[in-house]
């Protein structure tokens, strides 16, 4: 359990980093929405805890990638429930972003077509 | 972010981020369009969590508590107020409780619900803090879990496990190690490890 943490062997005060850019993005998005008053942090932790408990029934979560998958799933469901982000619209935008990446030459910034 | 992956098999187009990254991007786009979230606020939050906070801040608090009796008394009296006076409170208005180790009691912090953590003092939690293995087991068999961290406590010292919530976060104030007499707060901070402030470790002589 202890060795999984990169950096602690060399620096016991090393800050933990987000492992993937999207982990950081989904975290920041959630905090921003809460700070903007769209939901309270206790509302968030309750929903997130329920997802973690459900996912953890079948196998033990390791707190890495699986943790952020549960985070994203919770955020999508919470925003759908609050009527802030409709699943069909989100899905269409996801596909639009994918198409934009596939249509953009390598090395150029990717923009969503309006 | 076109450079999320290093898979160059797809030829000339921008590198396709993994599915969850696209879903996050979609949420962000929609919520920004609706005016529910401000991209600049997201950037500020990322900067705060990635660059401005981390366990060194907690270590400074611990070292000061070891050297400044008034500050230690203030932490005991009302941790939230004492930390607020230093500008060290969280962004979500949570209460902070500093729990003090003694020869009789060793404190350990967990969040059994999800991963509540004293962010402003310790930064982003490590993976093991978020794992089912730690969250479930440290409550049930704390001594065994602590031994897996290389920490064996005297039988006479009881172990108290604190379960964090969205509203209350805990920081362990470890005992000041022997052999540090005469050191100032700055030198002492180097002895304080992140794990010592969670309770899964003890202060260590700096390398």
What's the domain range around B38?
19-50
pLDDT confidence of residue A29: 97
Give the whole-number percent of chain A exceeding pLDDT 90. 64
Name the phi and psi angles at A42, rounded to 5. Answer: -60, -35
Residue B147 lies in a domain: yes
Question: What value does the mean pLDDT take over residues B124-129?
Answer: 91
A63: pLDDT confidence band, cut at 50, 70 and 90? confident
Q: Domains of chain A: which residue ranges?
A: 21-83, 86-114
Which of chain B's residues have a Cβ under 8 Å away from the Cβ of A114?
Answer: none
Chain A nearest-CA distance from B179, in A, is 19
pLDDT confidence of residue A114: 66
List the end-to-end C-alpha distance of chain B, in Å, as a whole number.
38
Active site residue B164: no
pLDDT confidence of residue A6: 38
Residue B1 lies in a domain: no
B10 CB neighbour count, 10 Å cutoff: 13
Which of chain B's residues have a Cβ under 8 Å away from the Cβ of A34?
Answer: 92
ipTM score of the complex?
Answer: 0.89
Q: A55: which strand partners?
A: none
B92: pLDDT confidence band, cut at 50, 70 and 90? low
- A114: part of which helix (H) or strand (E)? none
- B138-167 pLDDT, tens digit per residue, is 999 999 999 999 999 999 999 999 999 888
- Say which of A18, A69, A90 has its CB closest to residue B30: A90
pLDDT over 70 at B32, yes or no = yes
Contact in structure between B118 and B96 (CB atoms under 8 Å): yes
Residue B70 lies in a domain: yes
Q: Are residues B44 and B121 in the same domain?
A: no
Residue B8 lies in a domain: no
Q: Are residues B122 and B44 in the same domain?
A: no
Active site residue B116: yes
* Cα separations in angstroms, A55 against A78, B63, B131, B163: 16, 40, 12, 21
Which of chain A's residues have a Cβ under 8 Å away from the Cβ of B19?
Answer: 94
Residue B14 lies in a domain: no
B93: pLDDT confidence band, cut at 50, 70 and 90? low
B90: pLDDT confidence band, cut at 50, 70 and 90? confident
Question: Alpha-carbon dihedral of residues B88, B90, B91, B95, nearest 10 degrees?
Answer: -130
Question: Chain B interface, mutation test: which of A26, A40, A55, A63, most B Cβ atoms within 10 Å?
Answer: A63
Structurally, how many domains does chain B consist of?
A: 2
Residue B118 lies in a domain: yes
């Amino acid at each position: 359990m202890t060795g999984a943490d990169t950096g602690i062997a060399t620096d016991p005060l090393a800050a933990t980093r987000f492992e993937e850019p999207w982990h950081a993005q989904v975290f920041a998005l959630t905090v921003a929405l809460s700070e903007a008053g769209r939901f309270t942090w206790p509302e968030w932790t309750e929903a997130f805890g329920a997802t973690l408990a459900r996912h953890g029934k079948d196998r033990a979560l390791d707190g890495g990638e699986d943790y952020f998958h549960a985070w994203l799933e919770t955020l999508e469901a919470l925003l759908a429930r609050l009527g802030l982000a409709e699943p069909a619209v989100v899905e269409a935008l996801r596909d639009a972003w994918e198409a934009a990446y596939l249509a953009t030459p390598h090395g150029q910034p990717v923009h969503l077509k309006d | 972010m076109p450079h999320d992956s290093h898979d160059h098999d797809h030829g000339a187009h921008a590198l396709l981020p993994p599915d969850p990254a696209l879903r996050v991007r979609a949420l962000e786009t929609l919520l920004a369009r609706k005016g529910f979230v401000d991209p600049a606020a997201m950037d500020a939050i990322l900067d705060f969590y990635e660059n401005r906070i981390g366990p060194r801040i907690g270590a400074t608090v611990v070292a000061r508590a070891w050297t400044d009796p008034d500050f230690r008394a203030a932490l005991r009296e009302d941790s939230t107020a004492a930390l607020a006076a230093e500008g060290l409170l969280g962004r979500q208005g949570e209460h902070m409780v500093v729990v003090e180790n003694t020869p009789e009691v060793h404190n350990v912090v967990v969040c059994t619900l999800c991963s509540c953590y004293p962010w402003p003092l310790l930064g982003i939690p490590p993976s093991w803090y978020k794992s089912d293995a730690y969250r479930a087991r440290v409550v049930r068999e704390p001594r065994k879990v602590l031994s897996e961290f290389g920490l064996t406590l005297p039988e006479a010292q009881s172990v108290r496990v604190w379960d964090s919530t969205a509203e209350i976060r805990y920081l362990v104030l470890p005992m000041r190690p022997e052999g540090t007499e005469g050191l100032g707060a700055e030198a002492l901070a180097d002895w304080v490890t992140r794990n010592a402030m969670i309770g899964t470790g003890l202060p260590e002589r700096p390398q």
